[in-house]
């Protein structure tokens, strides 16, 4: 048994980033990076933890055949006092993925866990252990640090063995965060890959390839293959093993700019053109491959929830995709719940009002004030009209005004989606719509995808771009370095919240410290 500590897991990511444990040429590879031949089951795509709270969370892994997942968890990295965790028998029905629920942990401390697969009829026949670590949420005023970003393996830029998978992963691992908020576009199900992509400087970007990445995803197996693909990036697999994930979804988990009820154009890419059918398969794959807790209050299975991190922070994870209305010019004059939906809006305002945490961090998979076109129509919330709220802006105005009238202070919005990084301050004194309190929105991404931007700001809610970092050309590759992640730190003593926007190597580009309003 290899001893596991935070530095040893970091070393895994660093070694992968240096190209020491990965293939050196782009080639088709099996979907199981650690396949073991014979009758024993094996784990194929590492381990993850997700939605980790103060007392427990969810562990995840995948086997290569029908088997039972079992785990041990310990506050001691030697596992001398490990506690067993019984998991499910995984079968082809879930693509051999499974989750193990962990309870009874202590708040605000590090735990080490290990997972293996054993034969259902003979526990002596099992795989090697796969190791991970997690940190439970605090229950007292304890320092908090987490990362956020989005947009993974898009626009033709996949896992590159020359960088150990995803070039940005070692820098994220080095921050030793409490958790990682994945702000959507966890996969690019609509983004086929080629083995190589020429670069402007004459070089070549090499992609690892699998069968499922040769075309757009339509079948359940193809959607599953999108998530399995990302776990072939050795340094990303190492990062997820040491950092619990909190995931939301956006459009590329299904197809670009999708909305419920959409019928895709007959352009030869899709045999199944009904987006609702694709979305159902995509959602199943999302839940099979990402450990998401059962905290969502939505009876229709929409992916929103609140996670508590002690007296300093509550995290509100929104689903702005499943409720989304048809993409139009976004000029409607009546609110129709076309971003959050009425049920989610009521839930959000109710839970925000009930929160006693100093900071309310709202994770939105669409930016508020940036114009995001969909051809001649509008994909995002804003449409560039500097006047009173229209279309989806009406639904956001309802939330912002609700926050003001409920007296809710200290709310910060985090998002990704637009493939660059920025800091936006919103102020009613320069807005067309003024019935809200000032707040900040921070944008980050992409992680491993084409970089774009910057997008135009819409003046309806009075945003100002306090900082922007974007590439000089569209679809800049990760080799060019325009990949970004954000970091949030809350000081347990002062209760100040500090946001740092970081580059592909972890360098700080912009830092903003916010003082809490304690009234």
For residue 388, give the 3-state DSSP assignment.
Answer: coil
Percent over 90 (pLDDT), the chain? 87
Q: What is the largest CA-CA distance in the chain?
A: 69
CA angle 329, 333, 184 (to 5 degrees): 55
pLDDT digits 0-9 by tens, 452-488: 989 999 999 999 999 999 999 999 999 999 999 999 9
Does residue 199 carry a pLDDT above 90? yes
Distance CA 414, CA 194 (A): 32
pLDDT digits 0-9 by tens, 255-272: 999 999 999 999 999 999
- Is the model's pTM score more than 0.95? no
pLDDT digits 0-9 by tens, 303-331: 899 999 999 999 999 999 998 999 999 99
Distance CA 193, CA 186 (A): 16
Distance CA 227, CA 252 (A): 12
Superfamily of domain 31-135: Purple acid phosphatase-like, N-terminal (2.60.40.380)
Nearest to 481 by CA among 178, 190, 201, 186: 201
Query: What pLDDT does 447 receive?
Result: 98
Read off the DSSP letter of residue 428.
G
- Same topology, domains 31-135 and 144-514? Answer is no
pLDDT digits 0-9 by tens, 97-137: 999 999 999 999 999 999 999 999 998 899 999 999 999 99
Distance CA 448, CA 446 (A): 6
Domain ranges of the chain: 31-135, 144-514
Domain 144-514 fold: Purple Acid Phosphatase; chain A, domain 2 (3.60.21)
């Amino acid at each position: 048994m290899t001893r596991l500590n935070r530095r040893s897991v970091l070393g895994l990511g660093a070694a992968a980033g240096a190209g020491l444990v990965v293939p050196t040429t782009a080639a088709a590879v099996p979907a199981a990076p650690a396949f073991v031949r014979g009758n024993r089951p094996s784990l194929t795509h590492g381990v993850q933890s997700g939605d980790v709270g103060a007392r427990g969370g969810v562990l995840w892994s995948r086997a290569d055949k029908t088997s039972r997942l079992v785990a041990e968890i310990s506050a001691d990295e030697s596992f001398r006092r490990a506690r067993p965790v019984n998991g499910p028998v995984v079968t082809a029905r879930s693509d051999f993925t499974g989750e193990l629920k962990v309870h009874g942990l202590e708040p605000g401390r590090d735990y080490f866990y290990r997972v293996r697969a054993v034969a259902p009829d003979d526990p002596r026949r099992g795989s090697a252990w796969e190791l991970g670590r997690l940190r439970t949420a605090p229950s007292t005023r304890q320092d908090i640090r987490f990362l956020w970003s989005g947009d993974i393996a898009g626009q033709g830029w996949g896992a590159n063995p020359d960088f150990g998978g995803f070039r940005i992963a070692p820098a994220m691992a080095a921050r030793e965060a409490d958790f990682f908020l994945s702000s959507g576009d966890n996969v690019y199900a609509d983004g086929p890959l080629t083995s190589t992509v020429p670069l402007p400087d004459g070089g070549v970007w090499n992609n690892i390839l699998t069968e499922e990445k040769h075309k757009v995803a339509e079948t359940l197996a193809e959607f599953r293959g999108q998530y399995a693909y990302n776990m072939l990036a050795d340094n990303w697999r190492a990062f997820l093993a040491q950092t619990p994930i909190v995931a939301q979804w956006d459009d590329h988990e299904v197809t670009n700019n999708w909305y419920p009820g959409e019928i895709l154009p007959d352009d030869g890419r899709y045999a199944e053109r009904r987006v609702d059918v694709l979305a159902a398969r995509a959602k199943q794959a999302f839940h099979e491959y990402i450990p998401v807790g059962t905290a969502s209050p939505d009876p229709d299975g929409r992916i929103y929830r609140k996670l508590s991190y002690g007296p300093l922070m509550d995290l509100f994870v929104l689903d702005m995709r499943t409720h989304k209305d048809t993409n139009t010019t976004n000029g409607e004059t009546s609110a129709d719940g076309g971003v959050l939906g009425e049920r989610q809006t009521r839930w959000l305002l109710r839970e925000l009002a009930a929160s006693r945490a100093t900071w309310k961090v709202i994770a939105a998979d669409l930016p508020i004030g940036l114009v995001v076109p969909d051809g001649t129509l509008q994909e995002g919330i804003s449409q560039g009209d500097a006047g009173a709220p229209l279309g989806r802006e009406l639904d956001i105005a309802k939330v912002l005004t609700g926050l003001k009238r409920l007296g809710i202070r200290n709310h910060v919005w985090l998002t990704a989606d637009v493939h660059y990084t920025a800091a936006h301050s919103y102020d009613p004194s320069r807005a067309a719509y003024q019935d809200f309190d000032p707040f900040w929105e921070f944008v980050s991404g992409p992680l491993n995808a084409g970089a774009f931007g910057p997008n135009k700001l819409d003046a309806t809610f009075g945003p100002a771009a306090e900082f922007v970092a974007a590439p000089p050309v569209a679809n800049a590759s990760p080799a060019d370095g325009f990949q970004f992640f954000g970091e949030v730190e809350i000081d347990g003593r002062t209760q100040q919240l500090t946001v740092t926007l970081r580059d592909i190597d972890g360098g700080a580009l912009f830092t903003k410290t916010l003082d809490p309003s304690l009234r």
